[in-house]
Each structure stands twice: as structure tokens, then as C-alpha cells.
A = this chain, B = another copy of it.
Amino acid sequence: MDIATLVGVIVAFMLIGTAIILGGGSFVAFFDASSVMVVVGGSIAATLISFPLKNFLSVFGVAMKTLLYKLDSIPELVEEIVSLAETARRDGLLALESRLDDIENPFIVLGVQMAVDGTRPEVMEDILRTEIDAVATRHRDGKGLLDCMGRFAPAFGMIGTLMGLVIMLGDMSDPSKIGQGMAVALLTTLYGAIASNVVFLPCAEKLGFTNKQELLAMEIIVRGIMAIQSGENPRVIEQKLNTFIPPKHRTNNNAA
């Protein structure tokens, strides 16, 4: 995921840079501090008004983390849970404690820890599902924030361009400066369009995608942990969890 996001952003900016060079423009002419300020600052300010301060700060982190976060491969996840189930079946639930250090996914750790601690099943499922809801809410808020910035960026781009035009039109004594004034005015719209279409909207889109994948993984984990705790046969657990995966990706298609 991470790689595609980075590659996409770099490619997009390289394309824009190349197009400027091919078109005979200079990079200097494409930079205007005041326009950057209106678009970036304005979008952040509008988002600050739209979201409670606490959420504004936390969802930013969520958005970043989720974009950089490597998603679990679903088949590997099933394999890991089945392996935990085998340990629990062979050596008892308490034997899982020794394996806690090898598990990377903190959600599996939370579940296994509770199982080892002997937490009652209803309480355990309740806690795990509340955690899923909390993750879903954080992601939805994170996506909402990025969508918001994707809508505000072009709006502030237009606001900046209108301001530039008003300034330019107010002083047309030197006709040779009209073109340049207009160019600077247009830069703000350009910045808004780039910020929205290269950064905010695609990242919001990917966050939505990542969210669906992560919730599926968490659903599989909850089912797996609950089955391990109730001492089900590892083969039965595998078969159950495999129904989340299309046939060709299943770890061990023993369906018959």
C-alpha cells in the first residue's frame, strides 16, 4: 500500500514538473508563497472549524498511520490463527502466553491475552467488538477529514484567485504587468486543484479501501479467537475462516 501511495505522489509531481519544463516555463514562476498560504492554510482552518479540536489532531495521526500501515494478508492471518489454535489444542490455552511475543498484530495480542487471562467469553467478545467499532469510527472520521480538505482546497484556490484578480484589476496602470498578475492569480486555483486531486481525494479513497480490509481482518480475528477459547478443532476453525477467502487463495482447501 505504502509503496503505491508514495510512488503515485512522486510520479504525479514529476509529471507536473516535466510538463512545466516541456512547456518552457520556469519553476520560479510556479511558486507563490501567498497562494500556498491561502490554499493550505485556508483548508486547514476550514477543517479546524469543521471538526472538534481533539478529533482534528487524532484523526490526522490515524490518516497518516493508516496510509503507511501494512495490511495483513488475509490468508496469512488465517494461517496464524490456525497455528495458535493448534498450540492451544495441544498444550492448553495457557501455552499461548509463550507465543504472545511473536505476534505482531496488537488486536490478536489483545484477544489472546484475554483468553490466557481467563476472561469470560461474552465480556471478551464485547470488548473486541467495541474495539472494532472504535477503529471503524476513527477511520470514518479520518476519511471524512480528508474528504473535507479535498472539498475545501479547490474552494480556497478559487478564493485566492478572485483576490489576485481584484488586486490586478485595481491597478492596471502598467499593462505589461497584467499578464503576470493574472498568472499569479491563477496559481492559487492550480494549487487547490493539485492539493485536492493529488493528495486529499486519493488518500481519502485509499483510507476507505484500507478500512474495509482492516475491518474484515478484525472480524476474522474475533471469530478465530472466540473459537480458540471455546476449544474448537483447528481444522474446523480453518474451514470456518476460509469462507472469507475466495477458493483460489485458501490455505488448504479441504472441502469435502
With A37-B18, A49-B4, A119-B255 in contact, do A186 and B166 touch (Cβ < 8 Å)? Answer: yes
Number of residues of chain A lying within 8 A (CB) of chain B: 101
Are the C-beta atoms of B45 and A198 separated by less than 8 Å? yes
Contacts of A51 in B (CB 8 A): 4, 205-206, 209
Are the C-beta atoms of A163 and B19 separated by less than 8 Å? yes
With A162-B193, A194-B159 in contact, do A179 and B169 touch (Cβ < 8 Å)? Answer: yes
Are the C-beta atoms of A247 and B23 separated by less than 8 Å? no
Contacts of A52 in B (CB 8 A): 1, 4, 71, 206, 209-210, 213
Are the C-beta atoms of B169 and A186 separated by less than 8 Å? yes
- Interface locus among A83-91, A122-130, A227-235: A122-130
Interface of A is mostly: helix
Is A61's beta carbon under 8 Å from chain B?
no
Which B-chain residue is minimally distant from A7 (CB atoms)?
Answer: B48
Partner among B243, B244, B256 whose Cβ is within 8 Å of the Cβ of A119: B256
With A25-B167, A51-B206, A158-B193 in contact, do A120 and B4 touch (Cβ < 8 Å)? Answer: no
Are the C-beta atoms of B45 and A12 separated by less than 8 Å? yes
Are the C-beta atoms of A46 and B246 separated by less than 8 Å? no
Contacts of A38 in B (CB 8 A): 15-16, 19
- Interface locus among A27-35, A92-100, A217-225: A27-35
